[in-house]
Homo-oligomer: A and B are copies of this chain.
């Protein structure tokens, strides 16, 4: 099958550090190539792939410090649409930007929506574009937009060797992610304090979250049981995740997927997650961690964490969250969209 993958340009594919969407697009692209598909990747020029790369801008927009990021994405659209008849299917990862064009084009296409969808700006748009097939990354992500044409949910997947399984449990809890109001590192601190455990915090602080960090979080970190590490690279992340007795995921927003949960499973580390967004779909309560509603239940869960088998966590990862599963799920959707019975046809 001739497949085009259309990535955002903010980060390279794969990204140098942070960049969830670009990382998943990279895993998908490389696994599709391994499975014998003919894949073309539209992405920033510093991207790397075993498929064919069509570079849109020399460097990722963040590294290149672009002032007008939309201009590059309009150029991306143009490059995709002038080549679109070369592909059996075009798979977009750039939200709704291409919808008016795709509606008027004669090729098959599908879009994975990677972001949160609960913004009031979106329903009017998706009411107008019910003919655009879209894929969610969790079932819960769909809730605000029932009118969209959902053609599947595909969970993210990682290469099995990208994280190392650790058989024995470490002696600390871990918070790994961004410091931002919706990620609730303050809850993680409270859970660790009341559980009398060590807590390692490996966290990136985005510019927009600096004020929140300084005002609400910084003063909480002066505790002997906390180790604040800052942003980490992949090797450090692998070590930190593998060495933790549990990953704390005390979120307070409709997380569309939550890659770090499956990274933890890949290391054999259970996850204690708050029941928001995708969490109930990713964690099997009592088997690969615990789904909790408040801090009391989270502290209880920490006390029971030895009941969770780390081998079970790893096998959950291997059975549901590898790049192979993800690629197969997407191929199934591509075939469905390409079948003569599919109603998704653009004029």
Instruction: Choose from B71, B77, B121 the contact partner of A122 (Cβ within 8 Å).
Output: B71
Chain B residue contacts of A105, Cβ below 8 A: 104
State in angstroms the CA–CA spacing of A57 and B121 once bound together.
Answer: 9
CA distance in complex: A56, B11 (Å): 32
Contact with B along A120-133 (1 / 0, CB 8 A): 11101100110000
A97 at the interface (CB under 8 A from B): yes
- Cβ of A125 and Cβ of B81 under 8 Å apart? no
B121 touches A66 (CB 8 A): yes
Tell me which of B70, B72, B96, B104 contacts A81 (CB under 8 A): B104
Cα of A207 to Cα of B125 in the assembled complex, Å: 28
| A220 within 8 A of partner (CB) | no
Contact B67 A125 (CB under 8 A): no
A interface majority secondary structure: helix
Take A67-B120, A67-B121 as given contacts and tell me if A74 and B96 are in contact as well, using a CB distance cutoff of 8 Å.
Answer: yes
CA distance A99 to B121 in the complex (A): 23
Q: Does A296 contact B (CB under 8 A)?
A: no
Kindly state whether residue A208 has any CB partner on chain B within 8 Å: no
Contacting pair B71 A125 (CB below 8 A) = yes
A19 at the interface (CB under 8 A from B): no
Contact between chains at B122 and A100 (CB < 8 Å): no
Inter-chain contact A101/B104, CB cutoff 8 Å: yes
Are A100 and B78 within 8 A (Cβ)?
yes
Contact residues in B for A97 (Cβ distance below 8 Å): 70, 74
Please state if A68 and B119 are interface contacts (CB–CB under 8 Å). Answer: yes
Most buried by B among A74, A100, A125, A128: A100
Chain B residue numbers with a CB within 8 Å of A66 are: 121
- CB-nearest residue of chain B relative to A81? B100
Q: Are A74 and B57 in contact (CB under 8 A)?
A: no
Residues of chain B within 8 A (CB-CB) of A128 are 75, 78
Give, as a whole number of angstroms, the nearest-CB distance from A116 to chain B. Answer: 10
Contacts A100-B101, A119-B68 given; does A124 touch B57 at CB 8 Å:
yes
A75 to chain B, nearest CB (A): 5
Q: Which of A235-287 contact B (CB under 8 A)?
A: none
A319 → chain B closest CB, angstroms: 36
The answer to whether A68 touches B104 (Cβ under 8 A) is no
A124 to B73, CA, bound (A): 11
Smallest distance from the beta carbon of A229 to chain B beta carbons, Å?
30
Q: How far is the CB of A45 from chain B (nearest CB, A)?
A: 11
Whole-angstrom CA separation of A255 from B45 in the bound complex: 33
Distance in Å: Cβ of A145 to nearest Cβ of chain B: 12
Shortest CB distance A119–B (Å): 5
Contacts of A69 in B (CB 8 A): 121
Complex interface: chain B residues within 8 A of A121 (CB): 66-69, 71-72
A259 and B57 alpha carbons, distance in the complex (Å):
35
Q: Which residues on B sit within 8 Å (CB–CB) of A122?
A: 68, 71
List 3 tightest A-B contacts by C-beta distance, closest first. Answer: A68-B121, A71-B121, A77-B100
What are 25 A-B residue pairs whose CB atoms fall within 8 Å in the complex?
A67-B119, A67-B120, A67-B121, A68-B122, A69-B121, A70-B97, A71-B96, A71-B119, A71-B121, A71-B122, A74-B96, A74-B97, A74-B99, A74-B100, A74-B125, A75-B124, A75-B125, A75-B128, A77-B100, A78-B129, A81-B100, A81-B104, A100-B101, A101-B101, A104-B105
